[in-house]
A and B are shown apart, each in its own frame.
Chain A
């Protein structure tokens, strides 16, 4: 990461060394020294995982048939790693715990009167106690994602019986479900210590099934995966491969990949984007959801329907629109509000020319080359430093000006250029797309110059416009390594550390061999050795 050149004489954000306090507990464990010997993977980490809101909602849908998605009301996860799966910031506030309790009560109430399809026991015929025992066993196993230990069975049965009394099955079920939804075995993906077995150790079949289902589906294992775990099939990597392939073809994988992509492409704020409709008269707030659906449709088509690689994603000559979106883009009119595939039209080719991204990386009333440049760098895992503290006000540019003219001051002043040359020239290549992603040839009556370069990345040479930039990204190792890194981060709940270099390198090679197919990448992620190994939660202090 060549940021040495991006130091600014104005920067005073570095504290004086004598006054710098030691880094405090908020910082994740220090990584171990880098190992080049990839036969030894002892020094990685498996921090504790708790269900995210997205995972909680998917899980109660699969467990209880409840699709109200009520966990969305829980406090949002801190966004430390770019994804909601972050583990190092797992804080537990009283507010959160209280809300888990409220959620559990409401879900239990609904479920007790609509028992899920997998539970059929006629409590009227057979009696509350018999059905209660059966419910404890089945619900317990599904909710805890493994067979209950005898003491767990005993305790949960006592919960059921305490509420059911002689024959109130519904009351017993209510109390049981309410308890189970707040139990640590449900909320956390626990991988219990094995007496006498040191870490690292292979995870057991139930734990592997849980890791697989939450990574590929963001939800609990299904009956087939559970069966395979119970039958010992998951000890065989070939069988694991078959399950992973099955799961990636299952519809449940699609929302999980969309969930990843929304975070990968910085689209989570899309529904809250605000635009100035006096500057953009064709803009309406309803467009935001349509932009999102367009991008989701392209991703699904490329990744799942065609199982194609990143090249198609970046250069697709087609897209997906409905009547409103076609009108917005100025495409030939289509009829009906459902989305269908169309030719992308001139000036559009692939992901980076879609309005969802172009409008998100812009201001309310204009495009913003800085956001777009920083965004592309982020797609290549090239971080961009914060501005220094005492930035003086930018000089006013006289008269109506283009984006390029507005940013001229960054080029002219050496103390600005040091950093701005890393992202301004990338973003300026996007200037043919305005703040809501519509194409334009001119701005303020002046012809747009969309030439740019990506200094400091592995993209060589210059380019003009987003289509050329996208072509260059197709050949960029940094772009593809970054996708690997992002899926690792999302799947493991932490950014890669030096001890993960072997895993990442191996995955990168497999990704390349596959033709950069993202579905294959995720399958390989699930099959890698570190995926089925439990490491300590924290590393020992570095020597």
Chain B
């Protein structure tokens, strides 16, 4: 879809003065542009979480750094081997502190490099003794969103794939955080995700203008109600209303962002009503993968995280030919590595499918793959014993040359946070630390 730039879009000069315009051919609506001035596509960060780790002997590539051999679990990724960095040996060291069952700890550490504080969440079976609270740090997707997401409509979006529909926030389902005790809930409804991402870019410019103008005037009036009421409250009540007020302001500010999309931006129509079931898990996942790639293509956001179910993984995968749920074959119904292989292989197929979608997108001759990096990981290594050492990770995409892909690397006894630090450095964030202090030795070397 081609988006014509109307007079209003040419640098409105609002607070967001530094508007990136990577797609210059949209500025020449009447001529096929052979723009001489090549503008680099923006960087993007994508997070892929899948539950349950991997059966090590089925996952671990054989061979060395370049001549590695993918087998069993990872065979579907063979066509993309030159786009990957497969990483072995990282330990979730920060799991030594904090509370929670190891699945939750691992999920917290996956993106925040932090621990779970005490709190009142129980394990997923509601009768358990309450023990667990939230992670105690900001997650890397939000760190990067602050760095690269200030000019897009959404600084980031968190997506999830669930067979059982939207669930309330819980440390078992949360990997993205604005900060300590500030969880970000993933959107698991493809319809809602579409509306959040694409309703603006599929709306006529004048209509969008009118809508935004109307919404702004209403939000102004609403803010006045907040401003009048807040002084009549104190303490935490007032704080909570202040937080609400701040969110309204953020939304108003987002009305000033300008999305300039390439010809490849074609989100189509809003999908039909979502049907949640274990049978539909793959379809739901496909929808979210497509949404992710289209969101990047349309440049409505540059940071996307995708959470497949959650660490407790109670979804059935009936299309794999057995009736136990994932968690069950990890250990609840006794450890069944043959079924685990099927599940992990199926997830590898999905990842290959996802990489295939990315592979199709080009921006003015530059493959989307070259402008992004996908951080692929999980919360645990060996599920039946809740192992948190040698957790399997992968990177896909080279982020404009920041990562040297096509390799299998081993970093025995390094912290998973070291990988997150290397990622943040690649996005131009210079700090050599992240997450809970004392559980990282700085960036993993040798990735670039």
Cβ contacts under 8 Å, B183 to chain A: 91
Q: List 26 A-B contacts (CB under 8 A).
A: A19-B96, A21-B117, A26-B133, A27-B117, A28-B120, A75-B169, A76-B166, A88-B120, A92-B244, A95-B196, A96-B247, A97-B248, A97-B251, A101-B218, A152-B225, A158-B221, A159-B221, A178-B218, A179-B225, A183-B222, A192-B229, A266-B126, A274-B316, A278-B323, A389-B101, A536-B235
Q: Interface size (A, Cβ < 8 Å)? A: 87
Give 1 or 0 for each of B95-106: 1 = CB within 8 Å of chain A CB.
011111110000
A78 CA to B168 CA, complexed, in Å:
4
Contacts across chains A and B counted by CB atoms under 8 Å? 212
User: With an 8 A cutoff between CB atoms, is B349 at the interface?
Assistant: no
A24 CA to B182 CA, complexed, in Å:
11
CB of B71 to closest CB in A, whole Å: 25
Whether the pair A396, B218 counts as a contact (CB closer than 8 A) is no
Give 1 or 0 for each of B120-150: 1 = CB within 8 Å of chain A CB.
1111011111110110100000000000000
* Nearest B residue (CB) for A378: B127
Whether the pair B218, A175 counts as a contact (CB closer than 8 A) is yes
Whether the pair A79, B168 counts as a contact (CB closer than 8 A) is yes
Contacting A at CB under 8 A, from B236-287, are 236-237, 240-241, 243-244, 247-248, 250-251, 276-278
User: With an 8 A cutoff between CB atoms, is B115 at the interface?
Assistant: yes
Known contacts A15-B96, A93-B184; A26 and B247 CB within 8 A of each other? no
Q: Which residues of A contact B (CB under 8 A)?
A: 3, 13, 15-16, 19-21, 23-28, 47-48, 73, 75-82, 84, 88-98, 101, 104-105, 151-152, 155, 158-159, 162, 175, 178-179, 182-185, 188, 190, 192-193, 266, 269, 272, 274, 276, 278-279, 364-365, 371, 374-375, 377-378, 382-387, 389-394, 396, 495, 536-538
CB of A191 to closest CB in B, whole Å: 8
* Nearest B residue (CB) for A28: B120
Cβ contacts under 8 Å, B126 to chain A: 79, 82, 266, 378
Of A25, A104, A155, A390, the residue contacting B386 (CB under 8 A) is A390
Q: Which residues of B contact A (CB under 8 A)?
A: 96-102, 115, 117-123, 125-131, 133-134, 136, 164-170, 180-185, 187, 189, 192, 196, 215, 217-219, 221-222, 224-226, 228-229, 232-237, 240-241, 243-244, 247-248, 250-251, 276-278, 316, 323-325, 331, 334-335, 384-386
A180 CA to B410 CA, complexed, in Å:
58
* Nearest B residue (CB) for A384: B127
Whether the pair B125, A26 counts as a contact (CB closer than 8 A) is no
CB of B164 to closest CB in A, whole Å: 5
A212 CA to B395 CA, complexed, in Å:
55
Whether the pair A91, B120 counts as a contact (CB closer than 8 A) is no
Whether the pair A79, B170 counts as a contact (CB closer than 8 A) is yes
Whether the pair A93, B185 counts as a contact (CB closer than 8 A) is yes
Known contacts A24-B117, A192-B229, A274-B316; A73 and B127 CB within 8 A of each other? no
* Nearest B residue (CB) for A104: B218
Of A21, A383, A390, the residue contacting B129 (CB under 8 A) is A383
Q: Which 3 A-B pairs have the closest CB atoms?
A: A26-B133, A24-B117, A378-B127
